């Protein structure tokens, strides 16, 4: 059976190239009456295999940043490179194909089709991208095994808990063998226990396979489990710290107090 992800337990010992790069990134929305600067000259580099959380108040630009970096939304000016590819220079068809090869997506609302089983939801993007049905089925099963839900593969979303639906959403993201998984509020609709299970799953996949994860989240307890926390405000990056920096900052503040 074809495995959806390369096993790369020595990943942390290897040199980590930049996989996500934004240079002077601007995004402007024109409402017809006013122009809104959603992103104001963002510069950002993320290494392969990093787990990065992006936080900030509603309207700060964090989801816009994720959408622009992933190519779901166009940019007004600047450069976005993913795995060395300048995505702004790609046609719509080329960008769609590139996303299918390099990226997986996990959303707060799961985006599972209710008429399909968990297995069918996972294999659907593979079939759409031209993978042979037999291979798509094998890869879907392998992805579902990664998230520990083979017993639920024949069930439809309405029969599942929120946590199970999100696990199937993660399996769907993994099935295309991506380099990057973008997760927009992946725990936003889940209780605290289930949220932690989903975070633990993504962190395990990062450790075992060197997957790059970028999370957008409002939850500080989720964000602090990433390797790096980026805080945004008003379309700008306000702070960019490793979790080690955050822990040191917290302990220093506690000692001072």
| The model's pTM | 0.85
At residue 244, does pLDDT exceed 70? yes
Reduced to 3 states (helix: H, G, I; strand: E, B; else coil), residue 97 is: helix
Q: What is the mean pLDDT of the chain?
A: 89
Residue with tokens 């220093």: 252
Rg (CA), the chain: 19
CA 185 and chain centroid, separation: 9
Reduced to 3 states (helix: H, G, I; strand: E, B; else coil), residue 8 is: coil
Q: How far apart are CA 112 and CA 117, in angstroms?
A: 9
Given this model, what pLDDT does residue 250 score?
62
Q: How far apart are CA 12 and CA 207, in angstroms?
A: 8
Which residue, 67, 114, 101, 63, is CA-closest to 217? 63
Domain 16-89+212-257, CATH homologous superfamily name and number = P-loop containing nucleotide triphosphate hydrolases (3.40.50.300)
Instruction: Give 81-139 pLDDT, tens digit per residue.
Output: 999 999 999 999 999 999 988 999 998 888 999 999 999 999 999 998 889 999 999 99
The DSSP string of 131-172 is: --HHHHHHHHHHHHHHTT-GGGTTS-GGGS-HHHHHHHHHHH
At residue 254, does pLDDT exceed 70? no
Evaluate the CA torsion angle 9, 13, 17, 22 in order and state its sign.
positive
Instruction: Give 196-226 pLDDT, tens digit per residue.
Output: 999 999 999 999 999 999 999 999 999 999 9
Q: Tell me the CA distances in angstroms from 52 to 80, 161, 208, 240, one per residue in order.
A: 17, 27, 17, 10
Given this model, what pLDDT does residue 243 score?
74
DSSP 8-state class, residue 226:
S
Q: Residue 247, Cβ neighbours under 10 Å: how many?
A: 12
Q: How far apart are CA 50 and CA 227, in angstroms?
A: 7
At residue 154, does pLDDT exceed 50? yes
Lowest-confidence segment of 54-58, 82-86, 186-190 by average pLDDT: 186-190
Given this model, what pLDDT does residue 257 score?
41
pLDDT higher for 11 or 191? 191
Give me the residue spans of the domains in the chain.
16-89+212-257
């Amino acid at each position: 059976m074809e495995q959806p992800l390369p096993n790369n337990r020595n990943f942390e010992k290897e040199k980590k190239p930049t996989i996500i790069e934004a240079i002077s990134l601007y995004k402007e929305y024109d409402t017809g009456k006013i122009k809104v600067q959603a992103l104001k000259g963002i510069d950002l580099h993320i290494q392969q295999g990093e787990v990065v959380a992006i936080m900030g108040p509603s309207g700060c630009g964090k989801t816009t940043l994720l959408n622009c970096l992933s190519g779901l939304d166009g940019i007004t000016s600047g450069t976005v490179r993913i795995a060395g590819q300048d995505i702004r220079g790609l046609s719509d068809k080329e960008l769609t194909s590139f996303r299918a090869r390099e990226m997986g997506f996990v959303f707060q609302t799961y985006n599972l089709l209710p008429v399909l089983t968990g297995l069918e939801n996972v294999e659907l993007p593979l079939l759409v991208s031209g993978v042979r049905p037999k291979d798509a089925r094998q890869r879907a099963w392998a992805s579902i095994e990664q998230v520990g839900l083979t017993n639920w593969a024949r069930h439809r979303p309405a029969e599942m808990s929120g946590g199970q639906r999100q696990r199937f959403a993660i399996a769907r993201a993994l099935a295309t063998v991506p380099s990057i998984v973008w997760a927009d509020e992946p725990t936003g609709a889940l209780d605290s226990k289930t949220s932690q299970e989903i975070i633990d799953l993504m962190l395990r996949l990062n450790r075992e396979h060197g997957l790059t994860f970028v999370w957008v989240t409002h939850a500080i307890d989720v964000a602090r489990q990433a390797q790096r926390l980026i805080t945004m405000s008003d379309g700008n990056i306000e702070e960019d710290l490793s979790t080690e920096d955050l822990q040191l900052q917290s302990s220093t503040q506690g000692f001072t107090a």
